[in-house]
Structures are given as C-alpha cells and as structure tokens.
Amino acid sequence: MRKVLATLALLLAPVLASPAQDLFDQASFYLEFYYNGPSTLSLKELTARYQGELERVCAPRRESCPYDQAVPVIQRMIEELRDNHTYYLSPEALRSARESRQGNAPSRTLRIGITHVPIPGSRDRLIVDVVEGGPADEAGLQYGDRIIAVNGRPLNELPDENQAAQFLVQAVQSGRPVVLTILRGPERQRLEITLTGREINLARFPSLKLRPDGVAVLRIPDFDAQGQVGRRVHELVREAQQKGARAMILELRGNSGGLLNEMILAAAAFLDEAYVALSDRYQTERTEFRIRDGRLTITRNGQTESANLPFLARWRGPLAVLIDENTASGGEYLAAAIQKARVAPLIGVPTLGIGNTTTRPFNLINGGALSISYNRAYFADGTPYPERALPDIVVQSSIEQLANTGRDLPFEKALEALGIRAGNR
C-alpha cells in the first residue's frame, strides 16, 4: 500500500518546467494553433517527437535547462516543415528585422556595400549584389563584376577562397582607401576602382538606372522598409517616364519579400488593379487589399476603409520581369500578379516557392520570435496565388558562367524580349 501511495504521490507531484521547456511549449503552441502553411505533417506528432528530444537534451538539469538548449531543438522541428515562411528569429535577428522595417539598419562596421561569392576553380570573388547608395554603388561597381585583386594583390595568390574573402573584408575595415581590380562584361574590361568603407544603412530601397539604349532598369531588392518602398517605386517609374525611357526591365532577382502593403503599392505601378486577399487557417479573418483608379481600399471582415493615393504613377510601356530561385514572398506575389494580368513576360527560373502564404511573427519569452505561415493569399477572382512564379521564358544562369564570360544571360534575354539588342549596360 505504501508503494502504491508513493507512486501516486510522484504522479501527482507538480512538474517543474525549466526555461527551455517553457520556451519550447510556447513555440509548440504557436505552431500547432496558427500554422497555415503548405506542410501536411501532423503538427501534434511533430511537437511531441521534439518534446522527447528536448527531454533528452535537458536530462542532466531538468529544472534549470536554459533557453539556449531549446533553440536548436525548435529550429530542427520547424525545419521539418520545409516552409521558408516559418522560421526562428534570435533576439539579434529580430532586432535587425525591426530596424529593416523602419528603413534604418546600421551596419555597425565599415562596409562598401556588396555581396560577393566564390567562383568555382578560382580565388576571385564575384559581385552578386550592390547596396543602393553605398560606397560600391557610388563608385560604379555592378552586378557581375569579377574582383581579381585587392590593393594590387591578386586574389589567386591566396591559399583558399575563405582567405580571399577575409583579405577583402580586412582591407575594407582598415578604414583606408581600397583599390579593387575588376573584370567587367563580355569584353572583360579591366578596371581599377578606389573606394573607402564606411558605416552604411543595410536597409534596401528601390533604385533606377537608365541605360544608354533607353531601357530603364528598376530594381526592387525587397519590400521591408515601411512607407519607403511602394511610394519610391512610383517616384522611379515617373522619373523613367520623364527621362523618356522606351522600355523597362523590372529586376526582382533576389527580392526577398517583406511587407505586403509595400508590395501591393509597388504592384499598382504596373497593374490597373492591384489586389490581394488574405485568409487565416480558420477562415475567421479575411482582409482584402485593392488599389484601383488611384484609390486604396482595405476591407477587414466586412469593414471597409479607403484612401486616395495621389502619388501613383503607371508604367504602360514595354516591360520585362527578371526572376530567379532567390525571388521570394512579396517578390513572388508581384511577379505572379504581373504574369496573371499578362502585362509582361517573366524571365529566368522558377522562384523560391513561398508565394501563397504570408508570415506573422510571434514573440517568444527569450526575446526572439517564431515567424509562422499565417495567411493564404488569393486573387480577385478567388484563385489562390501560386506557390511559386514560373517563368514564361526559361533562362538558366550560373555563377561560373557569369564570372567567366561576363554575360548576364537572363538580362540579355529580357532585352531581346523587349526587342532591343544587348549593348552597353
């Protein structure tokens, strides 16, 4: 009898949860209750399985297991969903995301404002992104430029690609002028460009470049900065029109998405009606965004509010849209809407594949957040936005091909689609 009572006492004793357990419980609840993404996994089975993993990790200190023991377990759990709209944000990443939303994301270190990647079979670096308004942009560096030397030292002299990258970073962070030797374009033009690193704003904004052949290239890196993307797109479209641009290439390669309201504002520069409807998992929340005839209308669960948008501009000339495997979320929404309206061809390769959900962040007790696929998106005719945007004209490209030939094949195909021969960029 005493043994039975002792067993009952153990079973009825309160379970002392650790910080790690509390964090895992919170993340599991949000996932099970709110997830509305494409994964068909049983969420209850998923969280139960990783509960067992957490218990094994925390076994040596059940009551004091810290938050940081739960974080990798949570990350592995949500990775099983294979849903790029559902992810964990550390406190630092959440802070950076909020800064980006405000349009002010200080680098806190000296930068020149480029993203560069290794080139197979070489120590050289290939520039695949240039931050608008940064030192590299001001100095004229471009997508596809191949860095072959830094301060006169050939990168191929360095032992490996990591040391080559680090050599460039150290030169920039010295605070002294840096001389980059680059190869550019199919002609493999050799240039020496001098620039100096400084602290820059890492938030991204749309930019416009007008080529000598009259083609305007409008680049939208993302839709993150609240109130500073959609309106800017219209300003740049108007600028292209005023400068007599005869055609436009909309550069959405690498566009990582961002705020839906900024995306739909941008869409209104290319569509007679820009529209997105969002619905949650339980079909209890429905929000419709529509821009038509210069007016924004937002309807939430039957309640409508509207506003005039006097700054709108509408591009009606020839248009081609570039997409790639890194075009995501809002970039996919915009590409899909343009394609559905038959306004312009999409050129490149299929996009990332999260274009029919929106993500919502849920704050966690450790200061981080769990972003979860929360809404599904629909066109005005009731059909869902596609999971990914598929190109009308498929053009494969590669880092190696771009680095070795200087030819941007998707861009050349966009010019061809516009009836323009490739020339000086």
303-350 confidence digits (pLDDT tens) = 999 999 999 999 999 999 999 999 999 999 999 999 999 999 999 999
Please state the rounded mean pLDDT for residues 3-25. 62
**What does the CA dihedral 189, 425, 110, 227 come to, rounded to 10 degrees?**
-170
How far apart CA 245 and CA 212 sit, in angstroms, is: 10
- In degrees, rounded to 5, the angle at the alpha carbon of residue 28 between the alpha carbons of residues 25 and 31 is 150
Domain ranges of the chain: 14-83, 114-195, 207-357+375-417
Tens digit of each residue's pLDDT (9 = 90 or more) over 264-297:
999 999 999 999 999 999 999 999 999 999 999 9
Amino acid at 26: Q
Q: What is the structure's pLDDT at 423?
A: 60
- Residues in Cβ contact with 167 at an 8 Å cutoff, skipping those fewer than 6 apart: 150, 153, 155, 158
Q: Which CATH class is domain 114-195?
A: mainly beta
**What does the CA dihedral 32, 33, 38, 40 come to, rounded to 10 degrees?**
40
Topology, domain 207-357+375-417:
2-enoyl-CoA Hydratase; Chain A, domain 1 (3.90.226)
pLDDT over 80 at 251, yes or no: yes
Pairing label, strands 178-184, 189-195 = antiparallel
62, two tokens: 């059940």
Gyration radius of the chain over CA positions? 25
Q: What is the structure's pLDDT at 62?
A: 83
**What does the CA dihedral 359, 104, 336, 207 come to, rounded to 10 degrees?**
-170
- Using CB atoms within 10 Å of the CB of residue 407, give its burial: 0 to 12 exposed, 13 to 18 middle, 19+ buried: middle
- Residues in Cβ contact with 11 at an 8 Å cutoff, skipping those fewer than 6 apart: none
Question: What is the percent of the chain with per-residue pLDDT over 70, rounded to a whole number?
Answer: 95
How far apart CA 208 and CA 198 sit, in angstroms, is: 23
Tens digit of each residue's pLDDT (9 = 90 or more) over 252-265:
999 999 999 999 99
With bands split at pLDDT 50, 70 and 90, how would you rate the model's confidence at 11? very low
Average predicted confidence (pLDDT) for the chain: 94
What sections of 155-255 are H helices per DSSP?
A: 161-173, 230-242
